[in-house]
Structure 1
Amino acid sequence: MSQDATRSLADRLDAGLSAPGAMDAARFEAFLEAQRRLGLVHGARALCRHLRPYLIAEQDLAAIARAAERIAFALEKVAQRAIWDDTLAEEVGLSADERALAAVAPGPGPLHTVGRLDMLVTDGGFSFIEYNADSPAGITDQLLVERTLMALPHLAPLRDGIGLRTPAPHRALLGALREGYAAWGGREARPTIAIVDWAAVDTAAELKVLAELFSAEGHRAWILDPDELAYDGRLLSAGGERIDLVYRRVITQELVERRGLDHPLIRAYRHRAAYVANSFRTKPLNKKAAFAVLSNPLFSGLFTPEQREAIAEHVPWTRRVTPGRTVWRGRAVDLVELLLGEQESFVLKPNDEYGGRGVLLGWRTTPAAWREAVRGAAERPTIAQERRRSRTARMPTFRDGGVEEEEVYFDLCPFVFARGVEGPLPSFTARMEGAMVRLSTSEVSNVSAGAGVTGLVIVDGARAPREGARHV
């Protein structure tokens, strides 16, 4: 990926940070406190500790968007097929309950409204390694970074800079929710929106920010625990108030395991008493084994030529760990023997976990622990994914009384939203808007595993601000 359009601007910002008085302990603590106050946190931890946003050239972002939209739409094909195809349902690892729930037709509208691809930036380009389609977090990060990080004095060249822009995934989310609700048959101009998740989740602050944003746009919006919902066979409600639209952040697997398939939200969804986004049909998308379908030539007929091209270039070789033979790098091999013999070339991931839990990096794992994980995959469904080497970056932070550069791994995680397509019947495709930017000293860069975030600024190389440029 090209860095020519961004390097000089990054150098200029870092030079401003090193100027006397640009950053001290008091200002840095005030910066962290502003994040806690606004909700840019995971639990109580302020998420942004690095003092520069990630700068990306416009043409690089456009390339990511093209690939992300094609991959997301290909994954949706996998989900649609897995509902009725026994072979594909087995390949992605759907349980009987999950498949039964995914088979429920919730009415017109998109299969999934919002998803987040996890993407590694590599020396050769970029690779998509997972898809968060059940309950993707981080949509408000960009907005809150702009209210905190971007307000620091050394980033003045980015404020109102010609040739610079920032994405707005929070606005894309509300637009996608409204459009999906209307396609589903909703008649309210400003439907009531319930944001539903367990009361004690670490992302509660983000949900509060979203509720405030929805309310500011004219919606009655509030945050509810699943146990606060009621369904009387006609209306979904909470505290006596009708709910038109549910922005579902509770994870399907957790809801079913804790409360069962007779929960009021699931019953209302079955009876089309409220619009639920994302729908419960997203479970096949959220299985990590969906990437095994993408990268396996046996299933290539599912996808368009453009999707196959994006998969070949941007999706690592991925397989479910099961006994038997497969093809790797052009040769037929026994899969278990391959994983044991080429440990440093692979990552193992539980098919159904999230937040980086249970991920084993072959090059960071002892041989004994690796063997145990490979041998135990039959009891705990697991995928193996070929290693893609993530690039690192040096980002400024404040530590021990001064500014210093820290080498970090970084992910760009694009948000993809359902977009309506004109036609006689409701039809949707995928549109990317913005990305979560994660920074970590560890190669497993999940926020729940300790990673931080920063903002994303898109640079038009021909018009980007230069030293001495005048800003309007």
Structure 2
Amino acid sequence: MTHVCETVWNAIEKVKDAAVADLSLVDELGLTEIERELAQIDPGYKAVSPTARLDSFLTEDVYSFVELNGESPAGIAYADAAFEIFEQLPVMKRFAQTYKLRRFEGRPLMLQVLLDCHVEFLGRRPDRVPHIAIVDLKGMPTQKEFELFREYFEAEGYPSVIASPDELEFSGGRLRAGEFEIDIVYKRLLVNEYLPIIKQHPALLDAYRAHAICMVNSFRSKIIHKKALFAVLTDARHAALFTEEERAMITGHVPWTRQVRA
């Protein structure tokens, strides 16, 4: 499964590279004009979506992807917290007497992704510990997960805040939430949720455009978050983008997809 995911992901990265260079492919992916403009801004690191989730069905006969959550996948910190709860339950303790349990910790991996992107963004190791802002709209159902991330980041020595776009200010080349200066934005804010307020609260976009922050995921992730991605992957017209192995993995694990337009 790991090899399948990695191979398909390599193909997805190639779609991103092609879309940045070829606007006709952007048309096929279905990006709006403003989404195109945002996607053209270089985030300062190569990965199109450093944190993403390929959702799939797994049966005895097939392992098939159903979608890619490439913009801002949730559930990482929730999964960590759920394990901590479940492992204390009597039924799980009895289960562990017979079967070996292996914990998958998502928050350390997420933090490392943020730090790795920041190093690539700077082109060097930072001179000091970077400050992290978790950015989304207020009152989201995932607020508790943001708190779990903030607690973990700070426990690891990285000052962190949770902020909404209206709480951000960009001036003097620095993005701030109050007095808190921001180096890394862990963007949980979806593009579709930001667009209606982007003119009213432009600080996040202005800082990103000025390369004053490292933002993960970037606005460019919208390219692969579109459901039409699978149509591009499975269209023979784009087969030349991929290696023979990538084409085989796409055929075997990505459902044939097409857009139907009136």
* TM-score, normalization by structure 2: 0.93
For the pair 1:308 / 2:247, whether they are aligned, the reply is: yes
Equivalent position SS for 1:320: coil
Quote the offset at 1:306 in angstroms.
Answer: 2.2
Alignment of 1:302-451 (within 5 A): 302-322=241-261, 378=262
Question: For residue 101 of structure 2, what is the amino acid of its counterpart?
Answer: L
Alignment of 1:214-253 (within 5 A): 214-253=153-192
For the pair 1:144 / 2:47, whether they are aligned, the reply is: no
Map of 2:135 onto structure 1: 196
CA distance in 2, matches of 1:115, 1:175: 14
CA distance in 2, matches of 1:162, 1:187: 43
Kindly provide the CA deviation profile for residues 384-431 of structure 1, in whole angstroms up to 9, marking residues without a partner as x.
xxxxxxxxxxxxxxxxxxxxxxxxxxxxxxxxxxxxxxxxxxxxxxxx
Map of 2:47 onto structure 1: 110
For the pair 1:93 / 2:30, whether they are aligned, the reply is: yes
Which among 69, 82, 86 is matched to residue 132 of structure 1?
69
Gaps spanning 5+ residues in structure 2: where?
none
Kept after mapping to 1: 8 A contact 2:14/2:241: yes
Which among 111, 116, 119 is matched to residue 56 of structure 2?
119
CA gap of 1:155–1:162, structure 2 versus 1, over 3 A, is: closer
Question: For residue 88 of structure 2, what is the amino acid of its counterpart?
Answer: A
Quote the offset at 1:162 in angstroms.
Answer: 7.2
* TM-score, normalization by structure 1: 0.53
Equivalent position SS for 2:215: strand
CA distance in 2, matches of 1:143, 1:232: 37
Identity percentage of aligned residues: 37
CA gap of 1:67–1:260, structure 2 versus 1, over 3 A, is: farther
Quote the offset at 1:320 in angstroms.
Answer: 0.8
CA distance in 2, matches of 1:65, 1:193: 30
Quote the offset at 1:263 in angstroms.
Answer: 1.1
CA gap of 1:209–1:161, structure 2 versus 1, over 3 A, is: farther
Map of 2:110 onto structure 1: 173
CA distance in 1, matches of 2:43, 2:84: 38
CA distance in 2, matches of 1:218, 1:117: 30
Map of 2:3 onto structure 1: 66
Quote the offset at 1:113 in angstroms.
Answer: 1.4
Kept after mapping to 2: 8 A contact 1:109/1:184: no
For the pair 1:77 / 2:14, whether they are aligned, the reply is: yes
Quote the offset at 1:75 in angstroms.
Answer: 1.5
**Equivalent pairs, count:** 260
Equivalent position SS for 2:186: strand
CA gap of 1:104–1:241, structure 2 versus 1, over 3 A, is: same
Map of 2:198 onto structure 1: 259
Quote the offset at 1:146 in angstroms.
Answer: 1.5
Quote the offset at 1:164 in angstroms.
Answer: 3.5
Kept after mapping to 1: 8 A contact 2:13/2:47: no
CA distance in 2, matches of 1:133, 1:126: 19
Kept after mapping to 2: 8 A contact 1:245/1:275: yes
CA gap of 1:242–1:116, structure 2 versus 1, over 3 A, is: same
Kept after mapping to 1: 8 A contact 2:166/2:201: no
CA gap of 1:157–1:66, structure 2 versus 1, over 3 A, is: farther
Quote the offset at 1:278 in angstroms.
Answer: 0.5
CA gap of 1:233–1:91, structure 2 versus 1, over 3 A, is: farther
Kept after mapping to 1: 8 A contact 2:134/2:187: yes
CA distance in 2, matches of 1:161, 1:135: 37
For the pair 1:153 / 2:114, whether they are aligned, the reply is: no
Give the superposed CA RMSD: 1.9
CA distance in 2, matches of 1:213, 1:160: 30
Q: Which has the higher helix share?
A: 2
Equivalent position SS for 2:134: strand
Which among 193, 211, 216 is matched to residue 272 of structure 1?
211
Map of 1:353 onto structure 2: none
CA distance in 2, matches of 1:121, 1:109: 30
Equivalent position SS for 1:318: coil
Kindly provide the CA deviation profile for residues 219-268 of structure 1, in whole angstroms up to 9, marking residues without a partner as x.
10111111101001510111022101000000012112322497111110
CA distance in 1, matches of 2:98, 2:78: 21
